Amino acid sequence: MPRWLWLLTQLTRKLWLRATLIGMLGVVAAVLSAVVERYIPWEIPGSIGADAIDSLLNVIATSMLAVTTFSLSVTTSAFASATSNVTPRATRLLMEDRTTQNVLSSFIGSFLFSIVGIVVLKTGAYGDRGRLILFGMTVAVIVLIVVTLLRWIDHLTRLGRVGETTERVERATREAIEIRCETPFLGGRPLANAGDLPAGGLQVSAGRVGYIRNVDMTALSACADELDRDIVLAVVPGAFVYPDSPLARIPIMPSAKKMQEATERVRAAFSIGSERSFDQDPRFGLVVMSEIAMRALSPAVNDPGTAIDVIGRNTRLLSLWAEAGRRAADDVPKHPRIHVPPLSTADLFEDSFMLIARDGAGHIEVQLRMRKALQALSRMGNDDFRAAAVKQAELALERARTALVTEHDFVRLADVRL
């Protein structure tokens, strides 16, 4: 994803931006009623008294202030509940929830509309037609508030719940996997192994500590075309880098004049942050899913049902990745001068099942579901995919051997053949 588009996407997910835009819309709507009346050539029958509109606007102002404060407190409680009962990494998805942001922004916009309307009304800037237009807008705002409140009531019954939050994480992970399946190498050419970086040439290091959140392949491709050199990536989104970690290497050294410029341009194409992002990093979503299961299996929660639910969701997600191997062979690179290391299938399976197998080793119901899920996955995909499924099944069986209390449970588990 181009860096500017990625930054714009991150910006549009912020609550303050949406609240600011809708708040400005409320201010414009209140002021527009005083301005637009002079451009209406006909007389509007009937008139509305200033006191009647003032009463309505006062009701909206006082109620919206209270409702906004209450909604913010409920939202904050939902975030805290998700942090303690699910995982802190899932809270970001709740903070970026569009329904919540639209509701809070609508309440703030209605509040600002009523405040500005009251102020302008007190100045006498509204004529008969202006007051009638303001009354019509006020009625429209009331309808908007009622509809928004009904949506908010329905939304509050699910916000922050374990099942709802897990569904959001699965949805975000599914989107990341589907995008990566469509462009397995981010639009570049496949690099067999990150350890196959060519010796010599120009190495571009990270220069800071953090996670790779986004790679601007368009900028890298433009740089490669201008230098007339291929660029080999050493990392993909989700990797944790240090100041001396290689980001990319240009096998043939550019001229000394272009070396510094090439280093800066390649480094600028990598967005590095303190936290991982769901967008280009399918592994992060699977890690968060495993964290949800781990929290459920902790002695304080003791909810193996949620762990079983997560195993089913991870199985669905990995079944999508089983198709990626077939698509990769037919993938036509959009950026042929950029070489990108593959996303390891073994790492995906490890992120999905290893921690659940460790924490759920003594739960026969969890182990059985995992064994059956890995049995199904071992029949999908290419050789690497099937081998990764078998390996995780063997590791889980080995952990269960030492944790299960009765021999009967272990025999029952081992009877599920791969």
- The answer, yes or no, to whether residue 49 has pLDDT greater than 80, is no
Give which of 315, 314, 342 is closest to 239, Cα–Cα: 342
pLDDT in tens, 243-286: 999 999 888 766 667 788 888 999 999 999 999 989 889 999 99
Torsion sign across C-alpha atoms 161, 180, 243, 287: positive
Distance CA 145, CA 138 (A): 10
Q: Give the pLDDT score at 30.
A: 81
Q: Is the predicted pLDDT of residue 193 greater than 70, yes or no?
A: no
More confident residue, 85 or 357: 357
Cβ-contact 251, 233 below 8 angstroms: no
Strands 246-250 and 231-233: antiparallel
DSSP three-state, residue 66: helix
- The side-by-side arrangement of strands in the sheet containing 338-340 is 189-190, 338-340, 231-233, 246-250, 202-205
pLDDT tens profile 283-314: 999 999 999 999 999 998 899 999 999 999 99
Spatial contact of 294 and 245, defined as CB atoms under 8 Å apart: no
CB 20 within 8 A of CB 101: no
CA atoms of 337 and 228, how far apart (whole Å): 9
In this prediction, residue 356 carries a pLDDT of 95
Interstrand relation of 210-215 and 240-241 (parallel, antiparallel or unpaired): antiparallel
Q: What is the pTM of this model?
A: 0.86
* CA dist 398 → 47, 364, 402 (Å): 82, 13, 7
Q: Is the dihedral of CA 179, 183, 184, 186 positive or negative?
A: negative
Q: Which helix (H) or strand (E) holds 240?
A: strand 240-241
- Summarised one tens digit per residue, pLDDT across range 99-147 is 999 999 999 999 999 998 888 888 877 777 777 788 888 889 999 999 9
Distance CA 325, CA 393 (A): 21
Question: Mean pLDDT highest for which of 4-13, 151-160, 268-277?
Answer: 268-277
Residue 375: partners with Cβ closer than 8 Å, 6 or more residues away: 393, 416, 417, 418
